[in-house]
Structure 1
């Protein structure tokens, strides 16, 4: 615990508190005050805490990141923004933590679907927001949630009514433009009974590592990035990278028999710090799927916590790719609260250079959750002797009629497989590249949205230092 850092942020908070949304709502002010008290008492999480033992966030404590209290889109390159928007998707743009209606694309969205900034939701539907805000994310769990609750400057409120099936995904673009900036967003996604929606959260920066396909070249580069790999016909783009902090919390409520798919593509600046939490509550017979792709940032952590009701089902998939000295942490928790629920989880990591990956997966089966069916797997590929991964799968089972299992693998490429490919006239470097990308591509192939699949595939190709990798291999 660093109380000095907490005191600095608390003092800074007093200078911007009056500009935060919801000033006229006593319940929100009480919630923010409670969160600020918790953060001030505990500071940012410490490796002395069990849930953070592998992740040291002291780098954040050396800076005082400042939130933007108003929207400014002057620094956003409109043409670049178009290049990172997905085709056939409604697009919601958040710039430095603030929703921009001007940059968003909502044409054709059904009128029954409510999509607005969190600031507008607090002004127009305060009773509805009060019903959901903080109900899935417990700010007492760790201080990053409390930090977000106190500091959030804006965010999104998405409500899909009962039986509404959206035929296009909603892409949420989180864009950061400034140095030493802090982007704090709070998002609420509600899918009522029998509704279906797909949401794609994309975290990028103007100086980040978001790969884009150049028209007519079939080449992947990154805009001002440092991980770009030169594919046939392309040159790597290298530029400056900004240090900033992203602290985003998304609460998802999946109604009875509803179906929600949430994608997360984290592709931020090389010097960025990222905390992103997704907290999900499922009703009876609800279905939830999460695909988590973690590629960018100096230090990045994702929390995905799911509460399962009677006969509900969830699937968690993840791919984390680390190079240089990146630190990428994924923390998942699946709470089986009622009988007959099903969960499946598969996370893969590929780490090179001196990168470090962390996977902490926890499945909790309550005493009342009989007939639970749960499987969790974490597989890691280390490409250098200096790469490191810490993996900690956990099963906590309090029921006696369940089917649960977990597995972990950590290793390097199979030399026998390399030899086999060499025996088929493939040189050693190409053989290693083929096996590496085949390992990662299993997770990419789980994406059912073509435009997103192609974009993530380009990201995978751009992240790795190997040369001569052909997209056709995948």
Structure 2
């Protein structure tokens, strides 16, 4: 069966499962889903002909029909098997094969005025509130994965934090895929009212077979709100992953994102934010590629109002035949005077066959700004290796130490001790660590 035939099957499959999708009785959502189905039917998944996808070929996804799992099909999981991925000092929400699991989630103790519930429950209990935020940060016309997710999402999470509420513990969202051939589609919305403050951790894991996960998160930050968001993607080596985070920031709000992309055969991460007056955005990322992994990070920062600040640092470590992509774009609107923006992407290639494609972009229409970007792609410095050898360190250990030091700068930015140790363990697991022990660090 050709890719075109498979793409055409998705709308037909949609008709079979549409009644089982949450919120179908809600007029505004039903219309939005139908528009998204039509958008996907017309354009399909993104292609290499699209400028923002020119380095990432998703034709492998088009060659297989991934089926959304129904609530009756989700795999059985014991909570003990998930403990290695869960942060103990946190509230946790577990989504299995794209569906919320009440038995595996731990939400006791969250303040009553704070809303943390599954997307399906939110559509039943507070659809009017949800309508204020749904599809406000991203449109289905953005690209095929957004249209697909909007039409097919099976569940997700809704977090609403009233004004001046500061949550004492982080909220962890754990996405788990248990079976081959599944398409896990989730839609999350985080809305922080004025001066609210929250830390959220997204974690993605899955089985060792081929499956696809598509997770879109929309974030709304009111004046002076503060969100710190961590994402740890460590899915199976045959998995396909698309993650999109789309943020709207009001005046004086702060958004900090730490993106760690380690897993999957093909993974794409979109992080887009619109900055209001005097708001701040800090994007940090680390991607590690081995074997034939393909990891694509696409960021877009829109400075729409004056006095906003954005800082961005992404690092990639690529070995064997892995390929890493970084496309970062900063747009400064004409009225966004006094903008301060810095973008930096650094790539370390550990083999002759590894590849890094990087494309930083500054699009500036204001004349009183401070903007800069920098890019490096290279291998380990032989002089540094020689220096360590002169201090009685063998060559392989010297290479390991320098590789670790390059990547560890991003790990050290994690402020949650349990998450720091989890990411550090992943870093040491994926690259040779002879001469380095985690308990030394």
Provide the TM-score with structure 2 as the length reference.
Answer: 0.98
In the TM superposition, what whole-angstrom CA distance separates every residue of 1:120-149 from its partner, at most 9, and x where no partner exists? Answer: 111111111111110001211111100000
Structure 1 distance, partners of 2:434, 2:344, is 30
**In the alignment, which residue of structure 1 is the partner of 2:230?**
263
**In the alignment, which residue of structure 2 is the partner of 1:235?**
none
Q: Are residues 1:404 and 2:371 paired?
A: yes
Aligned-pair distance for 1:473? 5.6
In the TM superposition, what whole-angstrom CA distance separates every residue of 1:445-474 from its partner, at most 9, and x where no partner exists? Answer: 000000100100001011114544322564
SS at structure 1 position matched to 2:65: coil
CA RMSD of aligned residues (A): 1.2
Q: Do the aligned partners of 1:72 and 1:95 also contact (CA within 8 Å) in 2?
A: no
Q: 2:251 aligns with which of 277, 284, 300?
A: 284
Aligned-pair distance for 1:31? 0.3
Specify whether residues 202 and 37 from structure 1 end up closer, same or farther in structure 2 by C-alpha distance, changes over 3 A only. same
Q: Do the aligned partners of 1:2 and 1:44 also contact (CA within 8 Å) in 2?
A: no
**In the alignment, which residue of structure 2 is the partner of 1:304?**
271
Q: Do the aligned partners of 2:300 and 2:329 also contact (CA within 8 Å) in 1?
A: yes
5+ residue gaps in structure 1? 208-240
**In the alignment, which residue of structure 1 is the partner of 2:339?**
372
Aligned-pair distance for 1:3? 3.9
Q: Are residues 1:57 and 2:58 paired?
A: yes
Q: Are residues 1:390 and 2:391 paired?
A: no
Structure 2 distance, partners of 1:107, 1:196, is 19
Structure 2 distance, partners of 1:294, 1:447, is 14
**In the alignment, which residue of structure 1 is the partner of 2:135?**
134
Deviates more, 1:195-204 or 1:99-108: 99-108
Q: How does 1:20-59 map to 2 (within 5 A)?
A: 20-59=21-60
Q: Do the aligned partners of 1:317 and 1:346 also contact (CA within 8 Å) in 2?
A: yes
Structure 1 distance, partners of 2:195, 2:327, is 32
Specify whether residues 60 and 73 from structure 1 end up closer, same or farther in structure 2 by C-alpha distance, changes over 3 A only. closer
Q: Do the aligned partners of 1:2 and 1:43 also contact (CA within 8 Å) in 2?
A: no
**In the alignment, which residue of structure 2 is the partner of 1:219?**
none
Structure 2 distance, partners of 1:473, 1:64, is 46
Q: Do the aligned partners of 1:71 and 1:96 also contact (CA within 8 Å) in 2?
A: no
Q: Do the aligned partners of 1:2 and 1:42 also contact (CA within 8 Å) in 2?
A: no
Q: How does 1:155-304 map to 2 (within 5 A)?
A: 155-205=156-206, 207=207, 241-304=208-271
Aligned-pair distance for 1:74? 4.9
**In the alignment, which residue of structure 2 is the partner of 1:218?**
none
**In the alignment, which residue of structure 1 is the partner of 2:382?**
415
Specify whether residues 340 and 46 from structure 1 end up closer, same or farther in structure 2 by C-alpha distance, changes over 3 A only. same
Q: Do the aligned partners of 1:199 and 1:261 also contact (CA within 8 Å) in 2?
A: yes
**In the alignment, which residue of structure 1 is the partner of 2:120?**
119
Provide the TM-score with structure 1 as the length reference.
Answer: 0.91
- Could you say which structure has the greater relative contact order, defined with CA pairs below 8 angstroms and 6 or more residues apart? 1
SS at structure 2 position matched to 1:38: helix
SS at structure 2 position matched to 1:256: coil
Q: 2:326 aligns with which of 326, 343, 359?
A: 359
Aligned-pair distance for 1:69? 2.0
Specify whether residues 71 and 463 from structure 1 end up closer, same or farther in structure 2 by C-alpha distance, changes over 3 A only. farther
Q: Are residues 1:434 and 2:401 paired?
A: yes
What is the number of equivalent residue pairs in this alignment?
440
Aligned-pair distance for 1:77? 3.0
**In the alignment, which residue of structure 2 is the partner of 1:333?**
300
Q: Do the aligned partners of 1:137 and 1:251 also contact (CA within 8 Å) in 2?
A: yes
Q: Do the aligned partners of 1:186 and 1:249 also contact (CA within 8 Å) in 2?
A: yes
Aligned-pair distance for 1:324? 0.1
Aligned-pair distance for 1:6? 2.2
SS at structure 2 position matched to 1:389: strand
**In the alignment, which residue of structure 1 is the partner of 2:348?**
381
Q: Do the aligned partners of 1:361 and 1:392 also contact (CA within 8 Å) in 2?
A: yes
Structure 2 distance, partners of 1:84, 1:460, is 15
